[in-house]
A = this chain, B = another copy of it.
Amino acid sequence: MSKKPLRIGLVGYGFMGRTHSNAYRQVDHFFDVPYQPELKAVCGRDRAKVAAFAERWGYESAETDWHKLVDRKDIDVIDIASPNDTHAEIAIAAAQAGKTVLCEKPLGRNLQESRAMVEAAERAGVANMVWYNYRRVPAVTLAKQLVEEGRCGRVFHYRAKFLQDWTISAKVPMDGQGLWRLNADVAGSGVTGDLLAHCIDTAIWLNGPISEVTAATETFVKERESTLTGEKREVKIDDASAFLARFANGSLATFEATRYALGHKALYTLELNGENASIAWDLHDLHRLQYFEYSDDGRLRGWRSIHITEGEHPYMKQWWVPGLQIGYEHTFIHQVADLLQGLAENKMRGPSFRDALATEGVVDAVLESARTGQWVKCKA
């Protein structure tokens, strides 16, 4: 009724443009939030496509130049969902224009871009957030609660991987419609910035800072056709990336990401082993958490498969009834719900640009270690 409007300008109408738009449209159907998102404008380079997107999702207007979006006085939030090579420039301009800035992950293509983004946002004093959406999977949020309650005790191990298989065929082109992720100039890196960044963000959130890493990357298919030029070009991104890490808390970790693990579509898995409890989760069954507690009666100790659909589980009271699961896009709705609450209370819930910079620091260390063959200390 008396909800304040929050006027959104979205840049990008691809996969992430859809997830964000859906979140804005859905959030107040399920959450009692202090703001009402208003979809003022969406911006993209292809006039016809951006217009169609605007109509489908109910944006009041469409732009083809993001500068216009930044200049518009009727927009409070610039939400960046365009390819990685545009993040820094837009975010900095938006911050300087005093907008709240939301940015898809990763922050920049590299540490330098990312630092500039953090600096711009903090200097301008604008609210900011990065869409590391997996923090808002209810099972993952529950894991965070359990760690914060001290249920795990001293942590010995952390392990995460993100396995896909969509680039095994050498016929997948390097670029063209929606395929910028194989182009190093646009993406910055391959799976390290795309997939491992998710793993790293959650890992730091759950288990604290990562101190140092040793890494290996691989490019299995060396050349791919560019559908833009019709020619074969050298593939410069990392097809696969793995690293060992030491956390500041003394725990030892393994991380791996690839797009060459046949049979796995988006298998993001994580596990944390503490002295009193262990926790495991995977994205292919995102509505479950695996939990093992040492204090259970010895005969009856076992991994509990917790079906995360109860009112007591994070975010779930807002959805359906016990037993009925939610899916992927809900993580973005949760993130918007937290964003709106955070803005109203002037107490943002993160991850902020600065939080994301810590992840970029690890990404940078991983890529450096893969180049040099040395252990590299992480810095942000």
The answer to whether A258 and B157 touch (CB under 8 A), given A29-B22, A168-B275, A244-B216, is yes
B322 touches A265 (CB 8 A): yes
A159 is an interface residue with CB less than 8 A from chain B = yes
Q: Which residue of chain B has its CB nearest to the CB of A216?
A: B244
Contacts of A57 in B (CB 8 A): 29
A186 is an interface residue with CB less than 8 A from chain B = no
Contacts of A146 in B (CB 8 A): 300
A240 to B287, CA, bound (A): 27
Q: Which residue of chain B has its CB nearest to the CB of A243?
A: B244
Contacts of A283 in B (CB 8 A): 323-324
A262 is an interface residue with CB less than 8 A from chain B = yes
The answer to whether A328 and B326 touch (CB under 8 A), given A156-B260, A258-B156, A307-B302, is yes
A254 touches B256 (CB 8 A): yes
Q: A292-336 toward B: CB 8 Å interface, digit per residue (1/0)?
A: 111010111111111101101100000111111111111000000
B325 touches A284 (CB 8 A): yes
A22 to B28, CA, bound (A): 11
A285 is an interface residue with CB less than 8 A from chain B = yes
Interface stretch of the complex, out of A95-103, A266-274, A343-351: A266-274
A220 is an interface residue with CB less than 8 A from chain B = yes
A367 is an interface residue with CB less than 8 A from chain B = no
Contacts of A192 in B (CB 8 A): none
Contacts of A324 in B (CB 8 A): 265-266, 283, 327-328
A61 is an interface residue with CB less than 8 A from chain B = no
- Say which residue of B156, B244, B263, B320 sits within 8 Å of A214 (CB atoms): B244
Copies of this protein, total: 4
The answer to whether A263 and B242 touch (CB under 8 A), given A305-B302, A324-B327, A375-B373, is no
Contacts of A214 in B (CB 8 A): 214, 216, 244, 373
B56 touches A323 (CB 8 A): no
Contacts of A26 in B (CB 8 A): 26
Contacts of A313 in B (CB 8 A): 299
B287 touches A327 (CB 8 A): yes
Q: Which residue of chain B has its CB nearest to the CB of A215?
A: B244
B325 touches A328 (CB 8 A): yes
Q: A62-94 toward B: CB 8 Å interface, digit per residue (1/0)?
A: 000000000000000000000000000000000
B276 touches A262 (CB 8 A): yes
Nearest 4 pairs of A and B residues by beta carbon: A266-B323, A265-B323, A263-B292, A302-B304
User: Could you jot down 25 A-B contacts, CB within 8 Å?
Assistant: A26-B26, A142-B299, A145-B299, A156-B258, A159-B256, A163-B273, A214-B373, A240-B252, A242-B252, A244-B244, A254-B256, A258-B273, A260-B273, A262-B275, A265-B310, A265-B324, A283-B324, A284-B307, A284-B325, A285-B325, A293-B300, A300-B306, A303-B305, A319-B329, A373-B375
Interface residues of A (CB under 8 A from B): 1, 15, 19, 21-22, 25-26, 28-29, 55-57, 142, 145-146, 156-157, 159, 161, 163-166, 168, 214-216, 218, 220, 240, 242-244, 246, 250, 252, 254, 256, 258, 260-267, 273-278, 283-287, 289, 291-294, 296, 298-307, 309-310, 312-313, 319-330, 373-375
Other than the given A262-B274, A299-B312, 17 more pairs (CB < 8 A) read A15-B321, A142-B299, A145-B299, A159-B161, A164-B323, A168-B275, A216-B246, A240-B252, A243-B244, A261-B278, A264-B323, A266-B309, A266-B321, A284-B323, A298-B312, A302-B307, A320-B329
